[in-house]
Amino acid sequence: MKNLLILKYDSFAVSLLSIIYGINIIIFPQLLDTGETYEILSTILSSITFGSIFIILGSLKIIGIFKNMPKLRAFAISGLISVWMLFFICVAFSGIVNSVWTLSLAMVIFSFGVVVKEWFR
């Protein structure tokens, strides 16, 4: 168990941060629904749907790690990359100046790092 956590720390980090962010969006839907920065995103998905997607994909990734299910891990990380990329694009092209786009881009980059580490060793 300890070795698994050490070897897959980046996967756990991306998964846990995605779950935490999803929970945060569900608990505080006004962040997504009322912010000008998230106007594009809130027209695509509701805050509950968007948060749930983060929670589900992050949980699937963790389950895939513990159960050693490569296809589930691949599906989950592909989904997380897609959702974080959607978030990045919506925030980056909102026309509002803020630094949230850098954080979402970092999650995309870290997620690609997980893919590189797991599938192209």
pLDDT digits (tens, 9 = 90+) for 15-65: 999 999 999 999 998 878 777 767 778 888 888 999 999 999 999 999 999
Neighbours of 51 (CB within 10 A): 23
| Rounded Cα–Cα distance for residues 3 and 1 (Å) | 5
Q: Quickly state the pLDDT bin for 121 (edges 50, 70, 90).
A: low
Name the residue type at position 63: I
Tokens of 23: 């929970």
1-13 confidence digits (pLDDT tens)? 667 777 788 999 9
Taking the model in full, what pTM does it have?
Answer: 0.89
- Which amino acid is present at 1? M
Residues 103, 116 contacting (CB under 8 angstroms): no
**Amino acid residing at 85:** M
